[in-house]
Structure 1
Amino acid sequence: MDTHYSQVSVVKNAANLEELDVYLSSLHENTAVSLANGRNVMAGYTRGWGLEFGDLRNLIKNDPVYLESFELARGRSLLTESKLMNIFLIMKYGAAHLVGDIVECGSYRGGGAVFMANVARRLGINATIYALDTFSGMPPTDRVLDLHFAGNFDDASYEDVVNYIAETGLTNIKIIKGLFQDTLPTLLRDISALSAVHIDCDIYSAVSYCIRTIQPKLHPEGGYIVFDDPLQGSCLGALQAVEEWSHEGRLHAEQAYPHLVYRFPPLTWTGRGGAS
């Protein structure tokens, strides 16, 4: 009997990067058997199972674009390597057909944004990466919902991030300093569509504000919403924000490891090999 497992496990048979590209590209296609409840289940299993239980980690480590991007982010991000690999997979295979920019809410010392910008540059993706943060630590938090508190991550520096990006030579990344409620509305007015958003801001109020503000700008063919924090033991506030948002829209996650990933608008089968 054919199962999702029998299909996603084919990535283990890849003898080289060319074969891996073929497998991963096909497993990210929107087909009648892959779409369910507004998400591409096959793509979610490919990334999630492949990174957690399969051999996808070792295969990706042979990709020169990933390796170069990882080295640029080294020491400047709190993201695990599995999460960087997942972002790489989403950019290269999942969002490959989605024309739009990428916003990161919560950039700390710029490692994640630099990683994404270099992946985009090397893959020829025409997108600007917008990195948003106070770059001076967290604002006040909810004392009931959040474990984090004001001032956490205050070892970040706006000037340091700007200088590092200049050193990399990346021109497809913009750093935006300030509270999200002060910077996002103005930024989004000038963006036509977002292929993906990476929300990494740990606390209830920030996660809730960012996803609700960004949602209308997601690509109409199903932009990627990558939540870094909701499954972390220190971020129940972030999880509650996602639960409330997803329950209101009756949305289902496409992936649960190493990120919680959603698609918006939800995918629908058109019978043409794509989504509308």
Structure 2
Amino acid sequence: MIKTKFLALALLLIGTAVSPVSAKEYKAALFGVKSDGTTNNTRSIQKAVDFISENGGGELAFYVGRYLTGTIHLKSNVTIVIKEGAALMASTSPYDYDYVNGTAALIVADTAKNIGITGKGLIDGQGTLVTGHYNTQAAQGNLAAGKNTVPALIYMNGCTGVTVEGILLNNSAEDVAIFNNCTDVTVTGITVDSKLNPATAGVVLEGCTNVKLNESFIDVPAAALQTKGAASKGVSVTNSITPNGKKISPRK
């Protein structure tokens, strides 16, 4: 009897030790983020990301609504979760974007670890409006050199442990998702519809290691999966296609 109880307790403890721990969820609304589609939420969202990263990590969840924002700097151990019916809407003002290594994007991460962008919601780059406003400001000489290129939707530099899953990525003014010198990147189940710029590529890799593209649909004018600059290693593609039904493979 004693041995039986001891064995049961041991199994319980082992099971507890190996059970995955759910990441803590923080609702964006708790940080004053508005879902009205007109309020610029850049500062509120950034405060939320910083708070979560500084307090052990977790998920920043966006529920049904439209969330207007400029550049969000994703930090270590934070996952942005865009729920079904929610949309992150890119600001159309050139002054709402930050540049990392000369690249602007709606969501950027620089040397962060264990980060993600997931959910069944939408990231809308509002590419037509963004490009128009950039061109207007550039023509008037209002944009400094090096800060006059339109933004991508996602740019990650030197990051490790990146997950992008399930989301819709539409209407980027530039390339959709750019990964530079990143390691252990998994992109699963994304749908990309971004045809405004004839030079737009879908997923762009430069000097990355261990990248997986799974179960995704990418509709862009240029390469669905583009490699450029320094060679990327360990790139695999599974069950991912373009609108013509062709399997996606890396292209330069």
TM-score, normalisation: structure 2: 0.28
- Of Structure 1 and Structure 2, which has the larger fraction of its residues in helix? 1
Higher relative contact order structure (alpha carbons within 8 Å, sequence separation ≥ 6):
1
- Of Structure 1 and Structure 2, which has the larger fraction of its residues in strand? 2
